[in-house]
Every structure is written in C-alpha cells, then in structure tokens.
Amino acid sequence: MKTIRAAIFFIVFFSWMPLHAATPAPGTSKPASPVGAPPPPPPPAEDLPSVPPPQFPKAQSKLEGWKQTLDQVEAALRARVIYDPMLNELRNRTAAAQSEARELISKIQPRLEAATARAAELAPNPEANAPQSDDVKLERAKLVAEIAARQGIIQQAKLINVRAQQTIEAISDRRRAIFNDSVLQRSASLVNPTFWVTVATAVPVAAGQFIDLLTTWARVLASQPLRAASGFVIAAFVVLGFFLSPGRRWWSRWTKRDPEIASPSPLRKTGSATVIVLADTALTAVALLVLYQALVMLGVLPDDVSPIVRALFIGITFGFFFVRLTIAVLAPGRPTWRLIEMDNAAADGLISFAVLLAMVIAFGVVVDAINLAIRAPIELSIASRGVIAIAKALLFMGALRVAAATEAADETTPSPSTAVNKSAWRLLIPVGWVMATAAILGPLAGYVALGRFITIEMVVVIAALMGFVLLSRFAAVLVNTTFAFHGAVGRFLRQTAGLGSSAVRQIAAVLGGLVQLSLIGLTTFVVLTTWGIRSDDLVASMSSAFFSIQIGNITIAPSVILGAVAVFIIGVAATRALKRWLEERFLPETSLDVGVRSSIGTGAGYAGVILATLIALSYVGLNLQNVAIVAGALSVGIGFGLQSIINNFVSGLILLVERPIKVGDRIEVGTRMGVVKRINVRATEIATYDNVSVIVPNADLISGQVVNWMHGSYSARLSVAVGTSYDADPDKVIEVLLDIVAHHPRALKSPEPFAVLGNFGADALEFTVFFHVAHIGIDAGAANEVRLEILKRFRKEGIGLPNPQRDLHVRDLDRIEALVRELAGAERSGAP
C-alpha cells in the first residue's frame, strides 16, 4: 500500500510541474534510447583541425569475417534440399558470429563512453570570451574522430547481430517446415493389397541381409572371445558393484514401500517414488552404457552393428524408465503410496499395458535401426512403422478402456473418497481416444508418418505428465521439509542469518513457486521437442527477447525493466532502513515531540520512495519532462475520477506540513474522542478510549471542526459540575470545592482554581468547579478523582445532595369521591 500511495503522490507531483520548465539536469534529460547506446558526440566546431580517423584493423577484419559467414549461411539456406545436420552446422556458425559481435560491442562501448565524456569536458563554454588554444582544439578533433570511428564499428557489429538473429530465425523456420513436410508426407496405404505383396517380396531379402550382418558379428566375436567376454564381465562388475555397495541399503530402504503403512509421510512417499525411477533407471542405463563402450573400445563391435546395438540399449533404457515411472506413480497394490487418485484395479491394469507399451517402443526403435543398417526397402520401413504405430494405438485404447471402466464403476458405487478426489488423469481419456483413433486411421489412409508421430507424442506426453507429477510433489515436499522450523535450512537461517520464522516461510514459498514454474517450463519443453523445437532455438529466442523486444516502432528491453525494478526495490529498502533508523535511533534522542518525529519519519519515507522512482525512470532512459507532460494530461482525469482520493491525499500533506494535529494529540471529531495514532496519506487513525480504531479521512480533519486538546499546549482546564439541596450554604459549598481542588496532586496552582454557583435548578443548586492540569493526555482522569472526593466530603460535611420532589394536583376530587361511595353502596346491597 505504501508503494501505491507513493506512486499516486508521484503522479500528482509531476502533474503540478510546469510543462515548459528550464533545461533539466543532464542525468534526467536524456531521451529514451536503448541502454548502452552512447550519447551523441558534441558537434564539431568549424575551426577544428582536420584529423584522420583512427583505424581498427582487427575489428574490421572480424566484421568482414562475420559478414562472409552470414553470406555463406544465407546462400546455403536458399538450397531446395537441406537436411537437419546441415541446419545444425549453419546455426552453430551463425550463433558463434552473433556471440562474437556482441562481445565486440561490449568491449568497445566503455571506450566510446570515455571518449565522449572527455570530448564533452573539452567543449567550449559559450559564456567564455577567450578562444580555445590550438592544443585543446587538436585534442577535441582527435576525440571526435575516435568517437565517429568507434560508433561506426558498433553500428556494423549491431547490424551483424541483427542479421545473425534473423538468420537463426530463418533456420528455425526451415527446420519446422522440414518437420511438417516429414510428418504430413503421404505414403502407401496399409489397406492396399499391392503394398503388402511388395512387402512380402522384400522380407526374405531383408532377412537374409540381417542374418549376414549377425553372422559377420558372430565371426568377429568368435575370433576374439577374450575381448568379447571382457566387455560383458565389465558390465557385470558394474551391476554387482552397485548391488554390493554401501548405498544398496539406503537404496533398498527408500525403494521399499510397505503396503501395511496406512499413511506414509509425504517426504517418504514422494522420495520413495523418485528413488525408484532414478536408481533403477540409472542402474540399467549405466550397465548398458558401460557394456556398449567396452565393446567399442575392445574392437568387437563392427560399424554396421553398432547402430543396432546402440538402438537396442536406448530402447531398453527408455522402456525400463517408462515402466518404473508408471510403477512409481501408480504404486500397484499399495494405494497409500499412490501419487494420483486411482483404485487398485485400474492401477494394476495400467501397469500391464505400460509394460507391453514399453516392449513395443523398444522393438520399434530396434526395427528402425535394423532397417537403416541393412538398407531395407522403403516399403518394409513403412510397413514396420505403420504396424508398430497401430500396435501402440491399440495398447493406448486398452489402457483408456481400463481407466474409463474404472471411472464408470466409481460413478455406480460412489464413495466419499472417490467423490472428493477425482483423478485429473481421467480428464485425458476423451483426448486420448481421439489421438489413438487418429493414430490408427493415419497409417490406414496412407499417412504412416503422421500415425507414428501421434503415438510418439502420446508416449512423450504421458511420460512428461507423470514425471511432472512426481517431481513437482517431491520438490514441494522437499522444500517445505527443508525450510520447516526444525529443518536444516530453516534452522540455519534462523540461527545464523537471524531471520524469523515468517521470513523463512516466505523464502520457502518463493523458492517452491520458482521450482514449480521451472518444472512446468521443463515439461512444456519436453513435449514441444517432438514438434521440431530445439533447445538452442528456444534459448536463443528467450535471450534475444530478454534483451530487446520490438513492437512496431517501440523497443522494449525486459532486462532494462528488471534492472529498473531492482533499482526501485533497493531504493525502497534503503528508504525503509533510513526511516526505521530515524524513528528508532536518532529522533528519540532529540528533544522533538512525538508529532514532529512522526512527521519527519513519514516525510523521509515519501521522499525516499519518490527519489527511488525517479532513479528507476532515469535508469530506463525515460525523459522526466515527458512524464510531466503525460501526468499533466492525466491530471484532468485524476481530478474527476479520483477526486476524493486526491482530496484526502493533499489534505494528508497539509496535516504533515501545517501540523494542526500531531501523533499523540487528544482530539474530538464529531462525537468521537481519542488519541491520534498515525497520520497516513489518505486517512488518519484515531484510537478511542474504548480501544476502537477510527479511520477518519484527512479531508474531514481539514474541512471540518476538530477539537484538539493538545494543540500548542498540553495544559487544559477541566470542570466538574455538582448539585446540592436548597438547604445547603452556598459559601460553604464553594469553600469545600476549592479545598478539594487545592489539595489534589494533579490540579495546578496557577492558573488558580475557582468555583461558581452556575444556576438555580429545579431540584438543586448547581455548582461548577474549574481547575487546570499539566498534561491533558495524562491527567484527564483527575476530573473523576475530584468527583469521588466531592461525594466523600459532602457526606462528611453534611451537605445534602438533591432529591427530586414533585407535587401531584388532582382535579374534580368531589365527583370522584361520590362515585366511589355510590359503587361501594351498590356492592353492599347486591344490586348490579
């Protein structure tokens, strides 16, 4: 709220500034320009000597080399046929040229600014009558030439940077176009009988080539049996070393999930699932990687067989990862350890389909590698990819059917737990059916690549979502546990850094949010990788957008904006520290009263926020005169739309400057009486004697009537009224009243107390005694003490207190008496 109020104050402040002010200070008058751009050099005078511009041969050579590189890349991109490896090479060359150009700009920029500053210092003073010496003119001419030469190099480097960015974007567009063409490429239909005749003819030939390949590898292994056996022995040692290591006990403790545990802790639950995926997958991947590298280094893996073995190991690793990830998330047979809400029947069924799907995925990877190694006919590759895509789609349909059947059973026999905890995974069932159907119809219609892409996308999406659920929950639990009150980091921050528990919890909340955002971004990127988006393109786009975004003719630099925000935050933090130091350390040591100290602290806070805002605006290169113009234009709308807020705001400034009331004053506003606790920008807080906080708008305090008991002086006159009977002696009553006040410790001797007979009341003589106290805020209770003493003394002195008396006069009493007698006689005679 303080920042918002300061921002409002900033707008109003600049709305009052004259639109045609004098020339602003150099630090605030620079026009809006990109951060880092050098200021314009001083215009050269006509009488400056001619100086040749300095040469920078190394920089010029680099610029020419980068231009030649970009020309070659752009020429290569104009080719009709280009493959992905070539695009990667072209992109790497372009990115290298762009990075070197940025480094050259950052290297020359400080020297250009230094030369510009020196030239500005040597500029002639218009008010000076004496002409400049020839040495000064020669130095200025050299600086002007140097500035022009360096600006030329920077402009060329910026042009290289822009061209490189455009070339990178063109490469990305070309890569996406190639991806779209490959996915939507039309092939033979799987329902065409002629196609299967061709495939049947190609199968024996491909099988013979594959058998020959395996025979050749077998001969290589038979010729070097010791080397072949050594590779498997090395892999076996790796596996045994893992199982026999001391970490095996820790690993088994975390991977063991006891079904008897009714409610495992969140850390144990998510940590066990994470260890199951990471440890088991890492064991498989490391063992296969060691075996592959051992076979390659021992020379028993031919070049023709190496891609097949590599594909086999990759398929096995991914299949094992997919199965272990599914088991970790679904926890079959252990509902208390399950990370998503699902019954046991659905979890067991989905695990079976996950195993079959992993086997089909690994088989498809190996078949593609075999077809590529033996150079199989294109019809055989199309048939294998189409059949595998249909098989994956059918398995997905089976898994979706299991999940849908379980959901129908839950709706038939609902329970409180299933009614409350509906699985978000079931929302994917309709989308999954559509994608699985498209994956089957694509190969049948002749779009095998499209069907294969859809099944790959489904596998990636399912794996990415399960991984996100696992990692997000584990990260949230880990952060909360680590930053808990008794956690390691939480205890360290409290005991070492001196942070409170609330500050540690806030740090944990911010860190947890950043981790969740990072996981969301990582999951999104993993899903988008199947669409032809590469990490280097994404990072380059984000980096370029971070430094500059062009929207029409407006250039927005998020990095500069973040820097300005950081400057503003630092300024506000420094302002609060200064305000705290003034209010707690410096001002209490002075002789100033509480109201003055409060006004000084509040004013320092406002001034610091305004100064931080001005510095932040200057950091982004915003001309403050333009801000004044815009604020002046907005002042009309502010005057109508925010009239009440601005009125209270200005009234608050008047209260702080004029100080008709101060913090600690005892005031009366309407029927309310209390002590001023705080004067804010919009309203003033008053604490009544009923311990109730009353928020009074500042405009009411300025325009209305306010009784301030402590304005100018804390001394005040109190009065106590008392009534006596008409039989009391007035002189004695006044004497007793003055004696009571004279002996009261809080009543002042000067001004002298006095008592008067104020009025002849209907039932009593009305007296009033007046006396002064030193501090109305402290001694206001003296009036009550005087009343109690008056009651005691009056009883002791025999002074009677008034008793109200009333005379009742009844009319027509004779008629009423006759009527009563008549009624009594009728009752005795029994007459009605």
List of E strands, 67-201 = none
Give ∠ CA 643-649-651 in degrees, rounded to 5: 100
Instruction: Give residue 67's pLDDT.
Output: 92
Mean per-residue pLDDT for 788-811?
A: 80
User: Tens digit of pLDDT for each residue in 494-531?
Assistant: 767 667 777 778 888 888 888 988 899 888 888 887 77
In percent, the amount of the chain with pLDDT more than 70 equals: 81
User: Tens digit of pLDDT for each residue in 219-265?
Assistant: 887 877 787 777 778 777 776 766 665 655 666 666 677 777 778 88
pLDDT over 60 at 27, yes or no: no
Q: Which residues neighbour 154 within 8 Å (Cβ) at sequence distance 6 or greater?
A: 38, 105, 108, 109, 112
* Phi and psi based region of residue 534 (left: phi greater than 0; alpha: psi -120 to 50; beta: remaining): beta
Bridge pairing between strands 716-724 and 706-708: unpaired
Q: Is the peptide bond before 443 cis (omega within 30 degrees of 0)?
A: no
Instruction: Give residue 175's pLDDT.
Output: 78
Torsion of CA 569, 572, 574, 579, to 10 degrees: -160
Q: Which residues pair with 769 in a beta bridge?
A: 720, 755
Burial of 807 (0-12, 13-18, 19+ CB in 10 A): exposed
Which is more confidently placed, 231 or 15? 231
Burial of 544 (0-12, 13-18, 19+ CB in 10 A): middle
For the chain, the average pLDDT equals: 78
Is 561 in contact with 548 (CB distance < 8 Å)? Answer: no
Burial of 392 (0-12, 13-18, 19+ CB in 10 A): buried
pLDDT confidence bin for 362, thresholds 50/70/90:
very high
User: Tens digit of pLDDT for each residue in 652-677?
Assistant: 777 777 778 888 788 888 778 888 88
Please tell me the least confidently modeled range out of 159-168, 350-359, 546-555, 808-817.
546-555
Q: Which residues neighbour 743 within 8 Å (Cβ) at sequence distance 6 or greater?
A: none
pLDDT over 60 at 546, yes or no: no
Smallest CA-to-CA distance from 179 within 427, 624, 537 is with: 537
Residue whose pair of structure tokens reads 């590189």 in the numeric block: 69
In whole angstroms, what is the distance from residue 179 CA to residue 450 CA?
11
pLDDT over 60 at 693, yes or no: yes
pLDDT over 50 at 14, yes or no: no
Q: Which residues pair with 599 in a beta bridge?
A: none
Give the single-character DSSP code of 301: S
Instruction: Give residue 35's pLDDT.
Output: 39
Per-residue DSSP letters for 577-598? HHHHHIIIIIGGGSS--HHHHH
In whole angstroms, what is the distance from residue 289 CA to residue 280 CA?
14
Mean per-residue pLDDT for 690-701?
A: 84
Q: Which residues neighbour 370 within 8 Å (Cβ) at sequence distance 6 or greater?
A: 210, 308, 376
pLDDT over 50 at 2, yes or no: no
Instruction: Give residue 400's pLDDT.
Output: 87
pLDDT confidence bin for 205, thresholds 50/70/90:
confident
Which is more confidently placed, 583 or 21? 583
Compute φ and ψ for 264, nearest 5 degrees: -70, 155
